[in-house]
């Protein structure tokens, strides 16, 4: 693993893993973990170990693999492990997938296994809408009665 573009621990660091780059952005609605490049048998375990750290907090996660241009079947284990980690930690997550990723998911029958959105913007908007809905549902319980 190499670090490019900043100090270790900085939110906008890019971590490189043999053809893939991983960067995380902490936003108000969710942590966006962006992976670009190739996910294959050579780097999948190290990427999986690296992104597992983002399931430890309470912040929802958007796993953005829209810029992954090559996705080996081994990458499914990364998505399954991430899903398992999020479920165990009670963290909501959403996948934004490239055509390379959705093709492998379709071919292997995993196309309905993960919460997929078309873009990071759509995933964050969905998160904002869910917050508004929860607030509206809770409002009758917090209003004072005369």
pLDDT digit string, tens, across residues 93-109: 999 999 999 999 999 98
The CATH number linked to 71 is 3.30.750.24
Identify the domain containing residue 123 by its residue range: 14-136
Q: Return left, alpha or beta for 44; rule: phi > 0 is left, psi -120 to 50 is alpha, else beta.
A: alpha
What mean pLDDT is predicted for residues 89-95?
A: 94
What mean pLDDT is predicted for residues 2-8?
A: 43
Q: Is the pLDDT of residue 136 over 80?
A: no
* Confidence (pLDDT) at 134: 73
Q: Which of 10, 11, 81, 6 is nearest to 44 (CA)?
A: 81
Q: Is 8 within a domain?
A: no
- How many folded domains does the chain comprise? 1
Q: Which of 28, 125, 44 is nearest to 78 (CA)?
A: 44
Q: Is 143 within a domain?
A: no
Q: Is 81 within a domain?
A: yes
Q: Is 128 within a domain?
A: yes
Q: Which residue has the tokens 């005369």?
A: 146
What mean pLDDT is predicted for residues 75-94?
A: 94
Q: How far is CA 22 from the centre of its chain?
A: 11
Q: Is 60 within a domain?
A: yes
């Amino acid at each position: 693993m190499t670090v490019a573009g900043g100090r270790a621990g900085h939110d906008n660091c890019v971590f490189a893993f043999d053809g893939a780059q991983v960067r995380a952005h902490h936003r108000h609605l969710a942590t966006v973990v962006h992976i670009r490049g190739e996910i294959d048998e050579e780097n999948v375990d190290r990427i999986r170990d690296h992104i597992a750290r983002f399931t430890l907090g309470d912040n929802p996660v958007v796993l953005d693999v829209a810029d992954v241009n090559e996705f080996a079947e081994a990458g499914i284990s990364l998505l399954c492990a991430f899903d398992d980690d999020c479920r165990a930690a009670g963290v909501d997550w959403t996948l934004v997938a490239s055509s390379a990723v959705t093709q492998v998911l379709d071919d292997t029958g995993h196309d309905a296994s993960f919460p997929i959105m078309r873009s990071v913007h759509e995933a964050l908007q969905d998160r904002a809408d869910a917050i508004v809905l929860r607030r509206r549902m809770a409002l009758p319980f917090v209003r004072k009665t005369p």
